[in-house]
Amino acid sequence: MPRELNHFINGKNITGKSGRFCDVYNPNTGAVQAKTPLATTAEVGEAIAAAQAAFPAWAAMNPQRRARVMFRFKALLEENMDELAALLSAEHGKVIDDSKGDVQRGLEVIEFACGIPHLLKGDYTEGAGPGIDVYNMRQPLGVVAGITPFNFPAMIPMWMFGVAIACGNTFILKPSEKDPSVPLRLAELMLEAGAPAGVLNVVNGDKEAVDALLEHDDVKAVSFVGSSDIAHYVYHTGAANGKRVQAMAGAKNHGIIMPDADMDQVVRDFLGAAFGSAGERCMALPVAVPVGEDTADEFIARMIPEIKKLKVGVSTDNDAHYGPVVTAAHKERVENYITMCEAEGGKMLVDGRGLKLQGHEDGFFVGPTLFDHVTADMKSYQDEIFGPVLQVVRAQTLEEAAALPSNHQYGNGVAIFTRNGRAAREFAASVQVGMVGINVPIPVPVAYHSFGGWKRSAFADVNQHGPEGVRFWTKVKTITQRWPEGDIGDQAFIIPTMG
């Protein structure tokens, strides 16, 4: 019998009241292992009320004490790494090493947030006018929310709530209903670290819960990661309700391969970046753009035998390169795109459809897939597939290659592989994409920089985590002050009132 999961509100695990549930699968077997309760508007309101009640005291706590909570939370993440990775793999399907990486990249943002006393320091100008000084301060917004996707159930929630809570906000997390157990466990660990009840709440749900967060007057800001159509909806609905919103969306990242690239490195990097985590990453590298026919032919000739060596296995198999995708519906979606690309004229070189593992025939496995001679007018190229599918689009010049990511509807990440520093520098400066890797296949910035794409990859003016995250989760107050001169005597004890 599948177990029922909970919400986490005001420091307690709370049974869902709606009577509506979403199935949580074991992607390795296809079996339903749990049921996620889908919150009503009223249940979301309970979480918001708990966060609102916790906000004044948490915001008033000095930043150093909030940092100590983050330090303890970081230590608990490290102590519970194996448990969190196993829990994550069981619901998502990532192999254990990928799950540990998921937790680790979130932990690194928590490490950044431990420096919040320094990050919140304002500016000061002495003598801006005769006897006048000007300074500013950063203050928390209040109750804020994060809506996160299935593909990184540890990292992306921590990207959001780590900085937001450290800044003095209280937080409502609405994780993916497909794999919510890790976010629920993170909330328990945050409470154990010393965050008061109500500082971090987790409410599971679907569109009803999302709309409740977007429309409630007490929610001051919302951060979202997911598909572009939903990101567009979240951005506009949140903004229409007077909220600060950042909505990170889809991607179709390109890897430009120059003739002078180190092909050994290129092949290794594409194997991991295109197929790792079953391609379910917004910073995966699903498009290879070799420059010149010789470069393309060599890349293809080197990739095919290496792809055929990749082992797809259950998430607990230490020898597997990647595991299943998250649901049967997602497996069908990926395989439909493979069929589409073939029908559009892509040359199938390795076909990953129909993969069955002995003893796990009902698991959601998709084999690595490779296409050559894909063109920019194909819908399978224009869309985000989000699976272990690599498409090769040939180009004859660097200008032609760079135009592909620059003209694509998505602008999340791009990489160039070359030994030519000038070519790399000019490419990085001109390509119309938010994050660029130079001989780095997945250019996710470190925690003390910021993450964010362009075009339909991000509906926002401020990026996630790093200094941009501090700016997003705080508001600036600027004070201009002048003090009277001379002895004011008893006037010093007269407190003026506003009237």
pLDDT at 146: 98
Residue 282 appears among annotated catalytic residues: yes
Per-residue pLDDT averaged across 264-288, rounded?
97
pLDDT at 494: 55
The domain of 312 spans 254-438
Write the pLDDT tens digit of every residue in 304-321. 999 999 999 999 999 999
Sheet holding 458-459, edge to edge: 12-14, 7-9, 200-202, 170-174, 143-147, 219-225, 244-248, 458-459
- Examine residue 448 and state whether it is found in any structural domain, yes or no: no
| Rounded (10°) angle between helices 263-275 and 293-309 | 50
The chain-wide mean pLDDT, for the chain, equals 96
Per-residue pLDDT averaged across 476-489, rounded?
83
Bridge partner list, 285: none
- Examine residue 495 and state whether it is found in any structural domain, yes or no: no
Q: What are phi and psi of 247, to 5 degrees?
A: -135, 105
- Examine residue 309 and state whether it is found in any structural domain, yes or no: yes
Bridge partner list, 13: 8
Task: Tell whether 161 and 283 lie within a shared domain.
Answer: no
Task: Tell whether 231 and 355 lie within a shared domain.
Answer: no
- Examine residue 494 and state whether it is found in any structural domain, yes or no: no
pLDDT tops 70 at residue 490: no
Task: Tell whether 155 and 34 lie within a shared domain.
Answer: yes
Task: Tell whether 389 and 297 lie within a shared domain.
Answer: yes
Helix boundaries (H) for 61-176 = 63-79, 81-92, 96-113, 116-119, 155-166
Task: Tell whether 293 and 383 lie within a shared domain.
Answer: yes
Task: Tell whether 51 and 128 lie within a shared domain.
Answer: yes
- Examine residue 497 and state whether it is found in any structural domain, yes or no: no
Task: Average the pLDDT over each of 65-74, 361-370, 455-464 and give the range with the smallest value.
Answer: 455-464
Write the pLDDT tens digit of every residue in 185-228. 999 999 999 999 999 999 999 999 999 999 999 999 999 999 99
3-state SS class at 416: strand
Give the CATH number for residue 119. Answer: 3.40.605.10
pLDDT at 484: 87
Residue 459 token pair: 């509906």
- Band (pLDDT 50/70/90 cuts) for residue 495 is low
pLDDT at 486: 67
Q: Count how many domains the chain has.
A: 2
Task: Tell whether 354 and 475 lie within a shared domain.
Answer: no
- Band (pLDDT 50/70/90 cuts) for residue 492 is low
What's the pTM value of the predicted model, to 2 decimals? 0.94
Catalytic member of 114, 167, 282, 341: 282
- Examine residue 486 and state whether it is found in any structural domain, yes or no: no
Per-residue pLDDT averaged across 454-463, rounded?
92
d(CA 3, CA 33): 7
Task: Tell whether 243 and 260 lie within a shared domain.
Answer: no
CB 411 within 8 A of CB 248: no
Task: Tell whether 325 and 177 lie within a shared domain.
Answer: no
CB 312 within 8 A of CB 320: yes
pLDDT at 461: 82
d(CA 351, CA 368): 7
pLDDT at 464: 92
- Examine residue 30 and state whether it is found in any structural domain, yes or no: yes
Task: Average the pLDDT over each of 115-119, 250-254, 279-283, 488-492 and give the range with the smallest value.
Answer: 488-492
Task: Tell whether 274 and 231 lie within a shared domain.
Answer: no
pLDDT at 1: 85
Write the pLDDT tens digit of every residue in 340-374. 999 999 999 999 999 999 999 999 999 999 999 99
Task: Tell whether 133 and 215 lie within a shared domain.
Answer: yes
Task: Tell whether 77 and 222 lie within a shared domain.
Answer: yes
pLDDT at 87: 97
Give the CATH number for residue 371. Answer: 3.40.309.10
pLDDT at 36: 98
Share of the chain above pLDDT 70, in %: 97
